[in-house]
């Protein structure tokens, strides 16, 4: 069975995003509240629909819920831009996209504390979800709004829905 690598090394950052140390995924997701950076990419098509990924049941955070098209951790020694390109390639097989910055905000749950770097793009090419995901599909803005607060989406995505849908 698949699982997240609890020994993967993440940078630990301050509120401004400056690297102040490093820790394992297990430490960062184990309630330590060590602030670590992540990247999110919202992928729209030219019809204004938003692609969402379904998180597989084996994920250690929010299994089985619909989430941002791409979401991933920044590896220790990697820039935000490098992490974004890597995650988009790994999760959706997309290499030719132009990201636009949306926001940077801290997100705290009962298990972790993330500095989230949010981007968006418009993309009409082929999307090939990897084995890291349980598939995905495009949702209309109305369909997303109808399902907010119903336990369908991750809390991260629900928090960002207002930023990206307007």
Contact present, 37 and 80 (Cβ < 8 Å): yes
How does pLDDT run across 127-148, given as a tens digit for each residue?
999 988 889 999 999 999 999 9
Per domain, the residue ranges of the chain are 7-160
How does pLDDT run across 56-82, given as a tens digit for each residue?
888 877 899 999 999 999 999 999 999
* Class in CATH terms, 7-160: alpha beta
Q: What's the predicted TM-score (pTM) here?
A: 0.90
CA-nearest of 53, 153, 67, 49 to 116 is 67
């Amino acid at each position: 069975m698949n699982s997240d690598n609890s020994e993967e090394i993440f940078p630990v950052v301050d509120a401004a995003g400056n690297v102040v140390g490093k820790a394992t995924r297990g430490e960062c997701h184990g309630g330590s509240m060590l602030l670590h950076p992540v990247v999110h990419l919202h992928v729209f098509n030219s019809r204004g629909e938003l692609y969402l990924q379904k998180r597989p049941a084996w994920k250690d955070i929010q299994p089985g819920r619909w989430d941002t098209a791409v979401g991933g951790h920044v590896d220790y020694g990697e820039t935000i831009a490098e992490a974004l390109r890597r995650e988009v390639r790994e999760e959706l097989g997309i290499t030719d996209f132009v990201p636009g910055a949306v926001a940077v905000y801290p997100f705290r749950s009962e298990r972790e504390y993330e500095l989230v770097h949010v981007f968006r793009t418009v993309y009409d090419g082929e999307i090939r979800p990897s084995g890291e995901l349980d598939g995905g599909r495009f949702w209309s803005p109305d369909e997303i709004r109808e399902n907010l607060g119903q336990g369908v989406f991750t809390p991260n995505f629900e928090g960002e829905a207002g930023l990206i849908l307007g």
